[in-house]
Amino acid sequence: MKIRNKALTASVLTAVFLTACGNDIENAQEAENNQAGGNAVNENNNENGGADSSEDSEELNENDNENNDDDANNGNGEENEDNNGEEGSEAFADLDGELVVYSARNEIFVNDLLDKFEEETGVEVQALHEAEALQIQEEAGNVQADVYISNDVGALEYLNDEGFLEANDSLENIDTIEEQFRAENDAWFALSTRARGFIYNQDMIEEEDVPSSMEDLFDESYADVENGYAITRGGNGGMIGNVSALRYEWGDERTQEWIESIRDQAAGVFEGHGDIRRAVGAGEHAFGLVNNYYFHQQLEEPEDNNVGFVYADQGEDEMGAIVNAAGVGNVAGGPNEENAKAFLNWVLQEENQLAFVGESLEVPINPELEPPFEEAVPFEELEVQDMPIRELGNYFEDTRQLIEDAGLDLELR
């Protein structure tokens, strides 16, 4: 697989600026946190998506991949192997040429997926990492990408609404993905999901004293817990999705008040959720607002792992947990349309759906697949927000502005 370098055209410079305000740092943070199983120094050295070159980290990644493979086999058995193994590979054996993939997920675990596709199909994959969704829009007059991989359904649906993704009517395994996690025209579909909640240090705070809802963070008393609580900067992708969901639920005025409340009361504002889960694990803060898979990651650490997690808004009259998902979009007018469609069909095979989840420790959307992290709560067991997740696309452009207007810095200062 070849890695494309970003040309410093005016278009890409703009995309880089937007990236600083968008989801890429969040995605880099995700992958860093999943890469090293406790190697916090290496994670922090890779905040912009660079791969960790240490032998220890590589060995851990290899072991993690082996474990994920074992989990996939144990969870789906010989039947899954028959349906998605050699026969699946043979179905794509006649392909050739190239596939250009733009990805907002970090290359550390995206590369494994793309390498697998390349090995099984013979298609040469060219990958551009740290790609912002608006770069697809800017290149509409000279389309470069065939496929866009994103951690944010809002970005995918925005691109689809604006006509930058192409509809699909022949995806063979699309029914394994719930309708709410794919575009109405199947121009994009998600494969892994996450939910918002609160990671907490069990040596510092009891579960009943942790917030149980987003609305609880209006309560000023949480500013007085031991060592306070932690949030991310406003431009973090998870925070942007969180705020977009609250805008849908509450409207802009109350959502802005919520942002102002956490801005004033949080004891720590961090670059990403990986920083928060490590800080909470180490006792630097009592709890923090994160996606659930960061809790999974902290449990895997060799130390500072006495943490718990409260899924937000699970009460009878509460709105349900805020969710988001990662997935794949078919870029309209891409240079290798046949290979793009082949990739979409390939990644929908159950074996490859699990490969997409990889080391992120997210939860597969396909309910027939066992989560790679055994203790993960299946999505169907959660009370979730009654919002079509595609609605995030309607808020994609202006949520950052609302956050900035509320005074929560998009970037750390």
Spatial distance between the Cα atoms of 392 and 399, rounded to a whole number of angstroms? 10
Contact 121, 342 (CB under 8 A): yes
Question: Token digits for 168?
Answer: 């699909």
Dump pLDDT digits (tens) for 23-75. 443 444 444 444 434 333 333 333 333 333 333 333 333 344 434 444 434 44
**Helical spans, DSSP H, in 85-128:** 86-91, 107-121
Query: Does residue 149 register a pLDDT over 80?
Result: yes
Spatial distance between the Cα atoms of 139 and 360, rounded to a whole number of angstroms? 29
Give burial (CB, 10 Å; 0-12/13-18/19+) of 83.
middle
Dump pLDDT digits (tens) for 306-340. 999 999 999 999 999 999 999 999 999 999 999 99
Q: What value does the mean pLDDT take over residues 219-233?
A: 97
Q: What value does the mean pLDDT take over residues 132-157?
A: 92
Contact 230, 265 (CB under 8 A): no
pLDDT, residue 99, reads 98
Domains of the chain with bracketed CATH: 2-193+324-378 (3.40.190.10), 195-322+397-405 (3.40.190.10)
Question: 228 to each of 196, 217, 280, 289, 404, how far by Cα in Å?
Answer: 19, 12, 10, 12, 23
Q: What value does the mean pLDDT take over residues 8-29?
A: 38
Q: What value does the mean pLDDT take over residues 139-165?
A: 94
Helix (H) / strand (E) element for 404: namely helix 399-405
Q: Smallest Cα–Cα separation from 146: which of 89, 87, 86, 95?
A: 95
Q: What value does the mean pLDDT take over residues 93-114?
A: 87
Sequence-distant (6+) residues with CB within 8 A of 76 are 350, 351, 368, 369, 370
Confidence tier at 287 by pLDDT (50, 70, 90): very high
pLDDT, residue 95, reads 86
Dump pLDDT digits (tens) for 239-273. 988 999 999 999 999 999 999 999 999 999 998 88
Q: What value does the mean pLDDT take over residues 348-374?
A: 90
Sequence-distant (6+) residues with CB within 8 A of 250 are 258
Mean per-residue pLDDT over the chain, rounded = 82
Dump pLDDT digits (tens) for 74-84. 444 444 444 44
- In 174-306, where do the E strands start and end? 188-201, 229-232, 268-270, 287-291
pLDDT, residue 186, reads 97
Q: Smallest Cα–Cα separation from 151: which of 29, 307, 295, 13?
A: 29
pLDDT, residue 6, reads 53
Sequence-distant (6+) residues with CB within 8 A of 278 are 40, 43, 298, 304
Task: Find the helix packing angle between 350-357 and 337-347, rounded to 10°.
Answer: 90
Query: Does residue 389 register a pLDDT over 70?
Result: yes
85 or 413, which is more confident:
413
pLDDT, residue 358, reads 85
Instruction: Decide: pTM greater than 0.85.
Output: no
Neighbouring CB atoms inside 10 A of 345's CB total 18
pLDDT, residue 5, reads 59
Dump pLDDT digits (tens) for 333-354. 999 999 999 999 999 999 999 9
